[in-house]
Chain A
Amino acid sequence: MSTKARSLFDSTIVIPALGDSVKKLNPVVMIKNPVMFVTMVGAAVTTVEIFVSPEPKAFTVQISIWLWFTVLFANFAEAMAEGRGKAQANALRQSRTKTVAKLFRNGDVPEEVEASILRKGDIILVAAGQIIASDGEVIEGAATVDESAITGESAPVIREAGGDRSSVTGGTRVLSDEIKIRVSADPGHSFLDRMIGLVEGAKRQKTPNEIALTILLAALTVIFLIVCVTLLPYGIYSGVVFSITVLVALLVCLIPTTIGGLLSAIGIAGIDRLVQKNVLAMSGRAVEAAGDVDVLLLDKTGTITLGNRQAVEFFPAPGIAPNDLFDAAQLASLADETPEGRSIVVLAKQKGMRGRSLQDLPNATFVAFTAQTRMSGVDLETVQYRKGAAESVKKYVGRDFPAPVDAKIDEISKLGGTPLVVAARHSANSETAPTVYGVIYLKDIVKGGLVDRFARFRAMGIRTVMITGDNPLTARAIAREAGVDDFLAQATPEDKLALIRKEQEGGRLVAMTGDGTNDAPALAQSDVGVAMNTGTQAAKEAGNMVDLDSNPTKLIEIVEIGKQLLMTRGALTTFSIANDVAKYFAIIPAMLMVKFPAMSPLNVMHLVSPNSAILSAVIFNALIIILLIPLALRGVQFKPMPAMALLRRNLLIYGVGGVIAPFFGIKFIDMIITSVHLI
């Protein structure tokens, strides 16, 4: 997918949107937006009025035209937002059209079928050079996959059965090897389909805040309807005849058409902005929740620190020759394929150990790292080597733990490093106490620019919590260096889940990222759970967003997009309501000045005639929608700052500005339409 921001008025989007604006006039669709529905009814009424109204025909015709434009402009805004989302979705969709899949129906021989008939649970075979027909999970084999179609990242990635890299996305291409995949989505329910649904207005469900806002706007519409309808009898009493055209014009100007017309465009554009960042949201609700997040749970590795830790030094325990430690460390790490493990082997080699490979130790049993033992190593015939976190090795060693080693561990931890302790048991007998060989110093490198970023979040009231498997001392040092507010050390998936629950009980919303299957419960529990695209199917299903780039730092941008969406909504609502003041000053004197010429001082804008005043207000009301489309689609400018400062700034721009701007706008339009004799 292209990650380039589209030009706002890309002709491939604008032209279809023009057509869609007219199609959206369908009353069944319009009624979902009460404000614009009333506007449309008003437009229809004035159209009839052209033939029956006592007002000058030229006036009624123009009012009617501009009221229709008001509706069309609002539809256009929505169509534009949808168009931009669709354009991105289509780029994804193209890659999947006419894909053929090899489906195991019965027996071992796959048959070729159309991708569209695949169902959840089906098993398919994908060989090198073929496109993966549907989202799924690798159940057999491993392959390199080109995911550039969805992530834009050209380097191929490994996808393999088991572990945390088992999920594949439909539309990506297998480059080497062959994998068996269990299909995880019915046609029409893949990530892509859900995302397309989100940006298409018809299928889009309103978010809770949108519903509440729609209620407010509908209620304001009803109130202004009462205001305008009661003006008719008031006029009769006062001996002034208000034409239906003028009352409709007043009504449309007063009801919040600006926000009413742009509301759904703002929502769609928010999701669209996420998609531009290569994040797929599963619901509009999730995007809204992102703005509300109070606590960010950030995994240390990859989010706060650069990739992985590197071994930088060995510290032998008292009585242990340095070379023995190097040797033990290397042996214990031989089978450890993690970058940390490899860096230990490399460091040992630099210290003069000869390079060894697994083949050199035919009788060795390698012990893999597990979340429970938190140690890895190797069992030779007479000696067992282990390396692991200090706490786990202490448990392994028992009581007899050398104090200088303990001191070293503390020292490294305080420096923000990760101490790994190496130990060995010189007997197959588990009764023999293991000997501590020494400490490996693993160093974390904190990403640049995070301190500032976290400080800004703090100013906005968002707390950042670093999640790490490290011991508390290490965690504290890194937390301090990165500037996070808190940390959860030696975290197990259960700890993470418990922390989320605790925060939520306090009424706070929690966001987190995760990729492993063991992250799934926490992802599901969190309010905004961003699964990495490289992660397992379980993780992706548990979260409510997927980051195609698998970049955990993006959580921060997601929160910013959520906030920007909410701010845009609030800013335009405020602006819309504030506009009414000027419209009153244009229309009310115009309605009364013929009967009561003494009221002319109220015509503060010195509009030329009553009809030009009313028409100018209606035109302003319509044009402001078009003028604000870019703002609705891009979102208002967002800078993290405390709520008080944000409120002050936005109230000044959109509240005070909203009161003042239309005075100039209406005056300007009045000058133009009267100078070209439109009225």
Chain B
Amino acid sequence: MNATLGWTQLALYLGLLILITKPLGLYLLQVLDANGRTWLDPILKPLERLTYRLGGVDPGKEQHWKHYTISMLIFSLITMLVTYVILRMQAILPLQHLFNPQGFPAVPDHLSFNTAMSFTTNTNWQSYSGESTMSYFSQMVALASQNFFSAAVGIAIAAALVRGIARDSMQTIGNFWVDLVRITYYLLLPICLVYAIFLVSQGMIQNFKPYDAAALTEKETIQVQKTDASGNPVKDAKGNPVMVPQVVDTQSIPEGPMASQMAIKMLGTNGGGYTNANASHPFENPTPFSNFIQMLSIFSIGSALTYYLGRMVKNPGHGWSVWAAMTFLFLTGFFVCWHYETVGNPILTQLGVDPADGNMEGKEVRFGITNSALFATITTDASCGAVNCMHDSLTPLGGLVPLFNIELGEVVFGGVGAGLYGMLVFVITAVFIAGLMVGRTPEYLGKKIQSFEVKMSMLVLLVLAMDILGFTAWACVSDWGKAGLNNNGPHGFSEMLYAYSSVTGNNGSAFAGLTASTYWYDTTLAVGMFIGRFLMIIPIMAIAGSLAAKKLVPPGPGSFPVSGGTFTLLLIGTVLLVGALNFLPALTLGPVVEHFLMWSGKLF
């Protein structure tokens, strides 16, 4: 793809994103209001009422932040357990011929734990290959449902925080169950229904057929380990495995209910692929059009939530300022990634590869440099984690962008809900640090920012830094950590750093060189996901509760301005200074060193 086409597509992308922000934001205003009205009411209202009756929920009764949080934690725990149990039992559940035609065995315990945690926390880190591990039932019921639930939870938390900011001297911040039901019924399900049909129209599969086999036109001979009669590997005298040639003449083509799961994967910024190749697989991302719409859907709710924020706090300019800060960070990241991917690898150029192609290693040729760089930036700005190229194969600085995006806390539109509440932590920090400079004690939209809010905001940033840096430090000096590496040197370091950044940020993408399906990695990564999700949500909910209870002072010319260019720049500065500086030394030892070494002729 040439540069003009790239610029055109970027312009189209941004234009469409702006275009959907307001209408979707207006729709969110209705969805996130227990008494809101939507044009889907005639169909969904009875279902909504029925759900409340079955669940014993009084939709008119709001909750204190602690009850809201506890409800959320209980819900997450239950859905996580259900997911775990389904994965463990996928081989013995009824209707195996329909739901598990490949006859996949039970998912191992540490992998089930990791996966259940991963999907509950909206991370969708995958230590497995979907097409060779998960039954259709597991994909549809365990994983796809979690995609809906974890997305709804994220949006609910963001809505609760925004209500906390907007409310005046109130003890409650909404009802978790109502938010959960309304977000799922009115927002996620209807859009995904249409979206899935669109994906099918582009060629995505949606069926319950057993896997197909295709005869290869070019047979291939590979070396495999020789096994004895009982299935144990045979070893030679020196203890090395004995390898025997095997001819491969067919390829297994995965089938299954893909479109229904892939719609929410993108819309809910989950990112967990149906197949291991994720959005670079021709079934999961059949056309350039599907690629474009998938990228747009990743940012759509995150972008609309900024509009929701502005409207809720009666300062639309504030919402747009936050949106502008996000867009600035998004574009900067994309340009860096795009640039370094276009420049490519100088060592390959020396070997005679045409530099005009850029760095095509690990990329799906259907998408090329621009769409891969754009997708990689978007998927890590948001906590999506779907990929259409292999991040591990990006150039060092091209790969630094996704890593850096995640370490910022994925506040650039971010995970649905999570991006907004993460960004609001930075807003509060920015207001606190710079707010004094207008000669008043800091206040955000008429709410005083005091010790408690500062304590909780800093806790979020502390957890982010500790989770990422701490686990990486542990992994990089332990045998289990280094055993999983596919590359040594700074690139190996980046792989570990990326893994823990990805789980902490609930992103789920990987520098896939890392072999993470081991006991230690599965467990530490799962703990990392848990910390990165819930240990952040709890302080954020505490902020929501504390702000809701505060008196709202009407804004005046002396109030701290939270809209306009100055505020946008301040917010960008705060995200970069307070959020990112913490990771600079680690990034230097990873991608930055690798970059300089690559240009001096050394690869890893």
Contacts and interface: CB of A to CB of B under 8 A. Distances in A.
Interface in B443-489: 446, 449-451, 454-455, 458-459, 461-462, 465-466, 469-470, 472-474, 476-477, 482, 489
B38 to A, nearest CB: 34
Contact of A236 (B429, B435, B477): B477
B585 A231 contact: yes
Given A219-B458, A602-B592, A650 B437 contact: yes
* A contact residues, range: 35 or more
A601 interface: yes
B558 A294 contact: yes
B210 interface: no
B469 A238 contact: no
B164 to A, nearest CB: 16
B559 A461 contact: yes
Interface stretch (A43-51, A360-368, A561-569, A616-624): A561-569
A531 B77 CA distance: 59
A562 B450 CA distance: 17
B266 to A, nearest CB: 33
Given A212-B454, A234-B476, A647 B462 contact: no
Given A226-B466, A602-B592, A646 B557 contact: no
Given A219-B461, A294-B553, A592-B589, A212 B438 contact: no
B560 interface: yes
A647 B436 contact: no
Contact of A234 (B564, B578, B586): B586
A292 B593 contact: no
A209 B493 contact: no
B577 interface: yes
A644 B466 contact: no
A158 interface: no
A599 B592 CA distance: 8
Interface stretch (B284-292, B413-421, B596-604): B596-604
Interface stretch (A17-25, A32-40, A541-549, A572-580): A572-580
B82 interface: no
Contacts of A235: 589
Interface in A210-255: 211-213, 215-216, 219-220, 222-224, 226-238, 240, 250, 254
Given A238-B490, A588-B585, A592-B589, A209 B461 contact: no
B561 A592 contact: no
B277 interface: no
B552 interface: yes
A459 to B, nearest CB: 6
Most B C-beta atoms less than 10 A away, residue of A228, A232, A233, A236: A233
A599 B600 CA distance: 10
A570 B557 contact: no
Contacts of A462: 558
B315 interface: no
Contacts of A507: 446, 551-554
B566 to A, nearest CB: 5
A651 interface: yes
Contacts of B567: 647
Nearest to A214: B451
Nearest to A640: B439
Contacts of B473: 229-230, 232-234
Contact of A461 (B465, B557, B586, B600): B557
A408 to B, nearest CB: 40
A570 B434 contact: yes
A542 to B, nearest CB: 23
Interface residues of B, number: 66
Contacts of B231: none
B441 A292 contact: yes
Contacts of B470: 226, 230
B338 to A, nearest CB: 21
A287 to B, nearest CB: 11
Contacts of B466: 226
B207 to A, nearest CB: 47
B588 interface: yes
Nearest to A208: B450
A230 B582 contact: no
Contact of B439 (A208, A291, A581, A655): A291
B4 to A, nearest CB: 31
A459 B557 contact: yes
A369 interface: no
A480 B434 CA distance: 36
A573 B574 CA distance: 12
| A219, A291, A578, most chain B CB atoms within 10 A | A219
B139 to A, nearest CB: 37
A152 B552 CA distance: 43
Given A226-B469, A230-B472, A230-B586, A573 B436 contact: yes
A228 B583 CA distance: 10
Given A223-B582, A581-B581, 12 more contacts: A219-B455, A224-B582, A226-B462, A291-B441, A567-B438, A569-B436, A570-B435, A577-B433, A578-B577, A592-B589, A598-B593, A646-B439
16 contacts: A211-B451, A212-B442, A223-B462, A228-B585, A232-B473, A237-B477, A238-B489, A291-B440, A294-B553, A461-B557, A564-B439, A588-B585, A598-B593, A643-B439, A646-B438, A655-B434
Interface of A: 208-209, 211-213, 215-216, 219-220, 222-224, 226-238, 240, 250, 254, 288, 291-292, 294, 458-462, 506-508, 562-564, 566-567, 569-571, 573-574, 577-578, 580-581, 584, 588, 592, 596, 598-599, 601-602, 638, 642-644, 646-648, 650-651, 654-655
The 4 residue pairs across chains A and B that have the minimum distance between CB atoms: A461-B558, A570-B436, A563-B439, A219-B458
